[in-house]
Amino acid sequence: MSLQLELKNVNLQTGDQLKIKGIILHDADRFQIDLGSDEENLALHFNPRFHDDSDGSVLVCNSKSDGCWGDEQRDLHNPWQRGAEIKIVLKLAGDMFEVELADGNEVQFPNRVGMGVFNFIRVTGDIKLTCLKLSQ
């Protein structure tokens, strides 16, 4: 069963962190973590995919403004496997998002829309969430 979690009126700001732990489902296709003001305005769309048609296992980042997607940033280094436990730390660094991966690597994605306050968090897809922590 695919996870569907949305948090509204969260008030995350520059300097805050979002920490997520979970287990990727054994038959996972993808999951995503979205940060923004609402579902049509996302400063960060972080989307690990395990069977992408063009790149296989890939990490995709993007942004969405007034319902329109920007250009995807694709990273062919997806350190996770189906069935694995994961820990993700999202750092809100102002003009950049820093996503710490379990293997010590980091993905960076620009805050293209210049958003400074994030009131909307969504975690969906083929993951069993075991912990979600907001910290300053």
- Per-residue pLDDT band for 94 (boundaries 50, 70, 90) equals confident
- Per-residue pLDDT band for 109 (boundaries 50, 70, 90) equals very high
Spatial contact of 106 and 97, defined as CB atoms under 8 Å apart: no
Which residues is 6 bridged to in the sheet?
122
- Would you say residue 56 has pLDDT above 90? no
Considering only CA atoms, which of 40, 37, 35 is closest in space to residue 18?
A: 35
Structure tokens at 5: 């979690």
Q: How far apart are CA 110 and CA 124, in angstroms?
A: 22
Spatial contact of 39 and 96, defined as CB atoms under 8 Å apart: no
Share of the chain above pLDDT 70, in %: 99
Query: What's the whole-number average pLDDT of the chain?
Result: 93
pLDDT of residue 1: 65
pLDDT of residue 32: 97
DSSP 3-state assignment of 67?
coil
Domains plus CATH for the chain? 3-135 (2.60.120.200)
Report pTM.
Answer: 0.94
